[in-house]
Amino acid sequence: MIMKFKLLPCCVLSLFVVLVFVSVTVAVAAEPVGTSKSFRGPVGLVVYSLRNQIKENGVTALDFAKEQGFVEVEIGLESHYGLTQEQMKEALQQRGLKPIGAHAGYDFLLKQTDKAVEIANDLGVKYVGVAWAPHKKPLDEVQTLRIAEDFNTIGKRLKEKGIQFYYHNHGYEFQPYKNGDTLFDLLVQKTDSDLVKFEMDVLWTIFPGQDPAKLLKKYPNRWILMHLKDLAKGVEGNLSGGTDTKNDVALGTGQVDYPAVLKAAQEAGVKHYFIEDESSDVLKQIPQSLNYLSGVEF
């Protein structure tokens, strides 16, 4: 016997409302964190931002990253802020956090490349870079050429193992050089475009007086990663590569013209973006930064 049911109008309406609610909920949940109609991301978190919380509370500090909706993270290759390598690996896996890149020491990558590759493979990262090159201040041409040579060496070794090397600028590289160029330009020009890529730290680009958007456009396809940071209004920069962490403010509240920077970054080929917040208000500022990114337009 085939039984037929007839839905009353009120039931049809209720069913429609439920379906709409479910559809909207799924759509909202699927929206990548920190992205907008203009800015596609993906946006991850630099775990270094939570270094103090990890030292104090251990792996539970990483719950914050998951709660904010992050999926991608950038980590340290040698240091895990009080955790062992295995503890960090398990903590990330348990929270669905995927390590994309990792920072390591210059000498470590140059002198212990095989060990660096072993750790990178264990943690599952495909990008490994450095954020500081040892040098005698101020940086000069001779030192820059030596750094470029070392970067090419490291890059070749890592590339042979399926890992991309990158350099994260830190501000001191923008010493004036020749014909309007800086030593950063020399570094880019003297490194192999396939072996050495770059991660722009936006704060450490604007602090030494550079225009991040123009620099992105000047070297398309060399930039693959980006640290999203903002510099407090009124702060005057220099070429030291250092500033008080209180000058690291929530995105959209500082000096950076982020609509212009993010537009240029997407056009230049940046593949992954990471919020890095070094301030003492990190737990407050990161949600503010995500909120800003979700509404940015260009």
Read off the pLDDT of residues 104-123 as tens digits, 9 standing for 90 and up.
999 999 999 999 999 999 99
Report, as an integer, the average pLDDT of 146-162: 98
Domain count, the chain: 1
In this prediction, residue 170 carries a pLDDT of: 98
Residue 117 lies in a domain: yes
pLDDT at 28 over 50: no
Q: State both tokens at 63.
A: 């719950």
**pLDDT at residue number 291:** 98
Range of the domain at 234: 38-295
> How far, in Å, CA of 283 to CA of 223, rounded?
28
pLDDT range class, residue 96, cuts 50, 70, 90: very high
Please check the confidence at residue 11 and state whether its pLDDT lies above 80: no
What's the rounded Cα separation, in Å, for the pair 252 and 58? 31
Q: How far apart are CA 102 and CA 224, in angstroms?
A: 13
CATH number of the domain encompassing residue 194: 3.20.20.150
Query: Residue 28: inside a domain, yes or no?
Result: no
107 domain-assigned: yes
**What is the mean predicted confidence (pLDDT) over 35-60?**
98
pLDDT in tens, 195-250: 999 999 999 999 999 999 999 999 999 999 999 999 999 999 999 999 999 999 99
Q: 3-state DSSP call for residue 174?
A: helix
In this prediction, residue 129 carries a pLDDT of 98
User: Which residue bears the tokens 């002198």?
Assistant: 111
pLDDT at 31: 80
| 147 belongs to a structural domain | yes
Computed over its alpha carbons, how large is the radius of gyration of the chain? Answer: 22
Structure confidence at residue 30 (pLDDT): 54
- Asked, for residue 3, whether it belongs to a domain, the answer is no
Whether the predicted pLDDT of 15 surpasses 80: no
pLDDT at residue 62, rounded to an integer: 98
How confident is the prediction for the chain on average, in pLDDT?
92
The full length of the chain comes to 298
Cα–Cα dist 125/74, whole Å: 9
* Calpha distance 44→100 (Å, rounded): 9
Which token pair is 107?
A: 């000498």
1 falls within a domain: no
17 located within any domain: no
The amino acid that residue 275 corresponds to is I
DSSP β-ladder status, 43-46 and 248-249: unpaired
pLDDT at 19 over 90: no
| Cα–chain center distance at 50 | 14
Comparing 14 with 118, the larger pLDDT belongs to 118
* Band of residue 137 on the pLDDT scale cut at 50, 70, 90: very high
Span 75-89, pLDDT tens digits? 999 999 999 999 999
Residue 173: closest CA among 137, 211, 221, 219? 137
CA 238/CA 275 separation, integer angstroms: 23
Cα atoms found within 13 Å of the Cα of residue 167, Cβ hemisphere only: 26
The verdict on residue 113 lying in a domain is yes
Phi, psi of 17 (to 5 degrees): -65, -40
Contact 254, 232 (CB under 8 A): yes
Q: Name residue 227's beta-bridge partners.
A: 201, 274
pLDDT tens across 168-181, in order? 999 999 999 999 99
